[in-house]
Amino acid sequence: MNKYLDISPEVQAALAAGKPVVALESTIISHGMPYPKNVQTALKVEQTIRENGAVPATIAVIGGRLKAGLSADEIEYLGKAGRKVAKASRRDLPALVARKADGATTVTTTMMIAHMAGIRIFATGGIGGVHRGAETTMDISADLEELAQTPVMVVCAGAKSILDLGLTLEYLETKGVPVIGYGTEELPAFYTRKSGFGVDYRVDSPEELAAMFRAQRDMNYKGGMLVTNPIPEEYAMDKTVIDAAIEQALKEASEQGVHGKETTPFLLARVVELTGGESLESNIQLVLNNARLAARTAALL
């Protein structure tokens, strides 16, 4: 057992009994949405996982402890603290632990801590990827490297549409990460159901997803599996509207010198503002949709 890791009693009991557990990230709480919508959404996602037969394990760093399974009070704390809490990627964990600091976990660190705890499935909104212009900036999310080396299934609504989706898929292919489309042969683009880019395999049931991931684990693959689950049709946004908002947000980020790990929170917040809040509701619904699929798949494992 990692001496810096705390697994909540409920999650510990579920793992010991072989019950399904689904990991959840905490960056969406502190950096992804405003308070109190962030806390309400986090609790609703946990409830959705329970309703679909699994135990939720929201993951964060609190007081230098790696936490797998948060209490409602801890979720409230992260929601109220917002961006005062560090956005914690792989490079940040040693410093946060040593300094007994707090950190909201990204896809990368949620995968890491889930794997330490023995949790095999993780539901999120969208993964990070290769940013537009990365051929000159080298701005590539650590999420892609983590998918290449940590054996956790990540259920998402595709890569965030602020990214270069074609290059993101090329990077995942190079790293040997299978990209699975749930009910689709096309990569979903977070707010929209289609991107124009194909996935590696289409799967139409949680049973098939579970079988595919079980086979990967049985062969001792080093990396993870990316499941892309399109946003429900009724919550998908008009592609021209979202593309225009993203282009405007990218232009403002460039003008204001926003870069590094501040880029994604800035862009997502501006897109929410530019779409009059429509993108926030879409974000919430796609996370709930991913939680349902992850829980059903975890139950079959």
φ, ψ at 280 (rounded to 5°): -65, -45
160 is catalytic: yes
Handedness of CA 118, 120, 123, 128 (dihedral sign): positive
The DSSP letter of residue 261 is G
On the 0-12 / 13-18 / 19+ scale of CB atoms within 10 A, 292 is: buried
Catalytic residue among 67, 87, 160, 261: 160
Within its chain, how far is the Cα of 43 from the centroid? 16
Q: Are 283 and 261 in contact (CB under 8 A)?
A: no
Catalytic residue among 25, 74, 76, 146: 25
Q: Are 203 and 181 in contact (CB under 8 A)?
A: yes
Between CA 134 and CA 114 the distance in angstroms is: 29
Tell me the catalytic residues: 25, 160
